[in-house]
Amino acid sequence: MSSSPPFYVLLAHSSLSSAPSAALSNTLGHPVIQYHYADDSPLSLLPTHPDEHILVLNYSNDGPKPTVQSISPTLSVVGLKTEEAPGASVADETGTRNDTMFIIETSDNDHLLSSSHGDRKSGHAIIAQFKHRNQVLRKALQYPNDQGKASSATAQPPIQGSPTTSQPSS
């Protein structure tokens, strides 16, 4: 990465307690940003109150792809995207700023962790919730290894004669 980092950082958040078919939120939020360098004390990263969530964005101009980790027990990072920031170039009078934005995709589990074990749900609701939680967990476990794979327009087609995998038809 030889260019400057994206100028904007936004959060897209979804909750595991939302409907199973719900996708990540299309509502973006602005995080409070605090720069932390390798020689800074790691104690400054600890939350100052119980509702505070800390995300660590690792970025290096000459290093690997940027990654994000959550140090909060109730918030998970499920993705990091880089997109164009609409209208950002108009605000940059110098023309030297990187007018893209990081979108950090997060998910939490607050509601489900605090729900009572005595609550009764239907079998279908429990299965739907289980599938939704597994889908979010799978996405969180695949990040950051799958960065750019799904949206890569430069993916190579399979080599003719090489083995491929296919789903059985029903």
In the structure, what pLDDT confidence band is assigned to residue 92 with cuts at 50, 70 and 90? low
Residue 93 within any structural domain of the chain: yes
Query: What number of other Cβ atoms are within 10 A of residue 74's Cβ?
Result: 16
User: Dihedral (C-alpha) 36, 53, 71, 118: value to the nearest 10 degrees?
Assistant: 180
Q: Determine whether 151 is exposed, middle or buried from the number of CB atoms within 10 Å of its CB (0-12, 13-18, 19+).
A: exposed
Is the predicted pLDDT of residue 156 greater than 50, yes or no?
A: no
pLDDT over 80 (residue 127)? yes
Any domain includes 33? yes
What pLDDT is attached to residue 11? 92
Whether residue 133 is predicted with pLDDT greater than 60 in this model: the reply is: yes
Confidence grade of residue 60 (pLDDT, cut at 50, 70, 90): confident
Q: Look at residue 155 and tell me if it is in a domain.
A: no
- Could you tell me if residue 164 is inside a domain? no
Asked if the model's pLDDT at residue 104 lies above 90, the reply is yes
Min mean pLDDT across 3-7, 69-73, 157-161 is at: 157-161
Token pair for residue 110?
């607050």
Domain count within the chain = 1
- Domain at 42, CATH number: 2.60.270
Under the banding of pLDDT at 50, 70 and 90, the label for residue 158 is very low
Establish if 168 belongs to a structural domain: no
Average pLDDT of 100-123?
A: 71
Strands (E), the chain: 8-15, 28-29, 55-58, 67-70, 75-84, 100-108
Over residues 161-166, mean pLDDT: 40
pTM: 0.63
Q: Could you tell me the residue range of the domain that residue 48 belongs to? A: 8-142
What is the rounded distance in angstroms from the CA atom of residue 99 to the CA atom of residue 104?
Answer: 16
> Does residue 21 have a pLDDT over 50?
no
pLDDT confidence of residue 17: 55
**DSSP-assigned letter for residue 96:** -
